[in-house]
Structure 1
C-alpha cells in the first residue's frame, strides 16, 4: 500500500475528472498571466490591482486540485504535488502581505510555484494519456 502513495496512475481507466484537468492547466497559465501583470505594473507604471485580484482568483483552481486529490481515492497519488502547490501559494500570499522585506522573496517563490504547477500538469496529462487504450 505504501508504494502506491504517490502513484498517479492508480485506476487510470476510471479517467480523470474534467474539472481536475482544467484546474491543472489553469494554474500555470494563470501564473504566466501573473508574471505579465507584475511586469506591466513595474514597467508600465500601472497599478498592482489587477495582479492582486488575479492572484486571489488563482486560489480557485489551486483549491479545486487540492480538494480532488484529497477526496477522490484514485487521485490520491497527486496529493503531494497538490499540497506543494497549495503551500507555495499560501507562502506567496504571506510574502506579499509582509511588506518590502518579504516581498523581495515573492518572485523566487513564484518561480517555485510555477515549477510545481507545471510538474502537476505534467502528471495530470500523463494520467490522461494512460487512460486511453494503447494499441
Structure 2
C-alpha cells in the first residue's frame, strides 16, 4: 500500500487548476519584487515603503490560493506541507515587519529568503505535476 498524503502526482487525469498553477508561478516573482522594492526603499532616493507594503499584501492572496487549494482540493493535498509552510513563514514575515524592535526586524530579510526558497520548491513541484499532466494527456 502506498501513501499518497504527500504525493503531488495523484489523479493526474484531473489536471491542476489554472489559478493554482498561476499562484505558484507568481509567488516567487512577487517575492523577488519584494526584495527589489525593499532595496529601492533602503538605498534609493525615495525611501518610500508603500510599494513594498502593497506588494506584500498582494502576496497574501497568492499564498491563500496555494494553501487553500492544497486543503480544499483532494488531488492537490500533496502540496499541503509546502503550501502551509509558505503560509506560516508569511505570517512570521508580517509579524516581524509589524514589530518596532530593530532586533526582530533584522530577521525580516532572512525569513524572506526562506519564504522565497519554499516558494521555489513549491513551484518546482507544481511544474513537475504539470509536466506529468501533459504526458498523461498525450
TM-score (structure 1 length as normaliser): 0.95
Residue of structure 2 equivalent to 1:71: 72
| 1:1-135 equivalence runs, <5 A | 3-46=3-46, 47-99=48-100, 100-133=102-135
TM-score (structure 2 length as normaliser): 0.93
In structure 2, C-alpha distance between the alignment counterparts of 1:20 and 1:77, rounded to whole Å: 13
Which aligned runs of 4 or more in structure 1 are off by greater than 3 angstroms?
Answer: none
Structure 1 counterpart SS, 2:82 = helix
Residues 24 and 65 in structure 1, CA contact (< 8 A), matched pair in contact too: yes
Structure 2: gaps (5+ residues):
none
Residue deviations 1:14-67, cap 9 Å, x none? Answer: 110000000001110000100000000011132111101110111001101111
How many pairs were matched up?
Answer: 135
Q: Against the structure 1 CA distance between its residues 98 and 16, is the aligned structure 2 distance closer, same or farther, given a 3 Å change threshold?
A: same
Q: Against the structure 1 CA distance between its residues 101 and 79, is the aligned structure 2 distance closer, same or farther, given a 3 Å change threshold?
A: same
Structure 1: gaps (5+ residues):
none
> How large is the RMSD of aligned CA atoms in angstroms?
1.4
